[in-house]
Structure 1
Amino acid sequence: MPAPSITFDGLPSGARIAIEAETGPILRIENVCAGLNSSLSAFVHTTGGVVFLKGLRADHRWVWTQQREAHINPYVTPLAPRLLFHVIADGWDVLGFETIAGHHADYSPGSPDLPRVTGALRELASLPCPGIELRHAEQRLANYVADAADAEAFAGNALLHTDWNNHNVLITGDRAHLVDWGWATRGAAWLDPAHWIIWLIAAGHTPPAAEESVALLPAWTSAPPRAVNAFAHASANLWEEIAGSAPDDWTRHLLDAARLWQQHRSNRS
């Protein structure tokens, strides 16, 4: 479930004062619709520029994702926007990032953004996985595979983003930037292209066309077909769990895409 949304002015005074101590005087606030992983989402306009804020209550069950983003940021810039500060005050945990002016990636067939996203995938694959605490792909997906042994194929030492929602990909000029690193993971390098395939299918690609979009990525060419089949199966089960008994339209759409890819992989086996 999404975290409950709050505006900047709705924060406790202690949190607002602590943020303004980092940003300098705030001239204007632009609240935006919070994402699935944050309650606060706002641009604050200051004398020094514009800062993007994202935050959660300090007792929220996902607040650890804030710390994860803070820890990983030095290792993933400039692919990701630079973290300017991390404030924990008056019951709130807030990150302040440099603002990247761009648009959310368009994943639809024929979109000019697609080569930029594959460029980001290549750039990410070239980054070493930092020696910080990260979740492991084989552990994250262990409950969704048909056979527990299948999850071992997801193990690896590559740095993965794992959440390829197009709202997490900002296009500026000729490149793509990745935001929202709270679910960064250590695992097999081919998993990020595999995660993206489901979003491509949801955006209107057929499963073969979605796979063709990642076909030239070195990370993807190393993927064992049986392991990809296991991942497609696990992803369908994961999205079924996320959807629950009464999914909204957005979640149902992703579940349908995951099932479509799973069926495609099953037909190829």
Structure 2
Amino acid sequence: MYPRPIPEDAKVQRALYVGGVALVVALWLLPLLAVMLTSIRSNEELMAGNYWGWPQKFSLVENYTAVFEQTAMLRFFLNSLLITIPSVIGVLILSTLTGFVLSRYPFRGSNLIFALFVGGNFLPAQVMMIPVRDLMVRLGLYDTVYALIVFHIAFQTGFATLFMRNFIAALPGELFQAARAEGASPAQVLRHVVVPLVRPALAALAILTFTFIWNDYFWAIVLTQSDAVKPVTAGLNNLRGEWTSAWNIVSAATIFVALPPVVMFFLMQKHFISGLTMGAVKG
């Protein structure tokens, strides 16, 4: 059941609702605000214990410059791009193909295959840690970007297949019947009918998959060891010192690392909204 809208004349209830929403938003943004303030503080203020007060001295340029001059964050950033972009492309391609076949060309055992795709998402990561690591060692991919690319494509394709299968299955069947009547092959149907109509799903899936892979930390430390191939999530852990940590530098690097998913969302938002407003058929 959906919640009933609050009447216009119920001023007390509306005020409580607005106040509750504002409180939740404030609590959610508070850690982000703390990180942003810490990223522009000087190290002297942090050593003096000024964590929540307004910065007495702004070290914005110094802290963000130090991220690239004193750390290997640029290398980690490039590694994340080398891992995330091919993984997202691979997931989109495989999930579109599997979703198209499982939704429009059922065959004996198709439900079992689909159940395997879905069931893999319920396995805890800790259960797969040792088998996946041993597999990458045997394949000679351990401690390379290819290990993370192969794993993320394999792991994310399960959820993406569920997403794409349901979306393609909801498309009007008349479109496929008309395409087959015109003599279109399955590949032509996929290219000229399905792909243009599933652009909103592809945009949403690209945003979700990019965020999942970019923010992954567990598999980044399981399948990589050297700094030459570590992504940004594992690289951030290297900024912590043995005895003390420059939290202003760590916070500045964290803000820098968080920018690509945000940029990805705003870049894909236009295509996502425009795709949702496109009609498949005219009534």
The TM-score with structure 2 as length reference comes to: 0.20
Higher alpha-carbon Rg: 2
The TM-score with structure 1 as length reference comes to: 0.21
Tell me: higher relative CO, structure 1 or 2? Use CA pairs within 8 A at least 6 residues apart. 2
Higher strand share: 1
Higher helix share: 2
